[in-house]
Structure 1
Amino acid sequence: MSNAYLDALKQRRTQYALGRNVTQSKDALVALIQDAIKHSPSSFNSQSSRALVLFGAESDKLWSLATDEVRKVAPAEGFEKTEAKLKSFAAGVGTVLFFEDQDVVKKLQEQFALYADNFPVWSEQAGGMAQLSVWSTLAVAGVGASLQHYNPLIDNAVAREWNIPASWKLRAQMPFGSNEAPFGDKAFMDDAERFRVAG
């Protein structure tokens, strides 16, 4: 059975070999990213997900900041491999930074006290869905990406550099660009170990 949504999910793969040879304009890529986040679900339609989209020199700056922050805590021996990985993220055309607005979470906790403990969890789920939506949308457009998590190490540097509101909590970074290498085969565990069906 053919299913366009599943086809999009199957196209979404981790791409570390990024380049700047994308055919879409900056405005077109921003529109794709915005639409993907806008139409992602969130509990109580809270729309808690936020994004900062960086292109060119601004994206380079992010990965330079990340390199500086990681260097402070990573062992000096073997850091070349870590630095090369961070440079590979900068090789793309841009980076999406995903945030969750904690003011939205707190407001919902106040409004619906019965569910107060769940709103932080639901916010994380909303953020994950927004990230998957953007990743799949970019994949369908022929744009490669990967999902990175250098937070909370880079949180303060990012907040200072791009004047991020205090309530925005950084959750992930997604470097994106042209696919400069083919994807390898993806391994899957046995369905019998993962799924159960009743009824």
Structure 2
Amino acid sequence: MFEKLFHTINQKIQLTKEDLEVIKPFFIARKIRRKQYLLQEGDVCKYTAFVEKGALHSYTIDEKGNEHVVQFALEAGWISDQYSLLTGEPSLYNIDAIEDSELLVITHTSFEEMLSKVPPMEKYFRLLLQNNMIALHRRLSASLSLSAEEKYTKMVNAYPTIIQRVPQHMIASYLGITPETLSRIRKQISTAK
């Protein structure tokens, strides 16, 4: 169950086999079914989750009932509401499974204890945070300056399997466009090939 997590960690830092064994007990293996919540709006976030298998998404729902996708997490991705987790305040987000998923979840208390027992993990999470900040800034810049077609093409190039795994309305929401616009873009791209 820890293969993907260990592989992902070892891509950024090198841990000993002993370190990897120390890490294991801090995580809880959890399976969730498609459409099952990991977190619901109004609840306090209790975990950070690593996706060993499957796909999840984080989103808000506006007063009209429209879903606004903030993040996708496929295999080897992390997902949580860090603000709620760290402050204990109710979450503004929902996180649920797009596919049946296998997760490794860790509480904030276990996370802090793990970092104290395996100090190199501090570097791993610092690198992860840096990469997330860069991705967030790039996404913000893209949403302000790129056309809908450019945003779609950029996403498909970065995550080629996402189109087959994630419903079109969720992709449209993530890109900030309507499903009809996404459908038109996909048709234009397929006829241009």
TM over 0.5: no
TM-score normalised by length of structure 2 = 0.27
TM-score normalised by length of structure 1 = 0.26
* Structure with higher strand content: 2
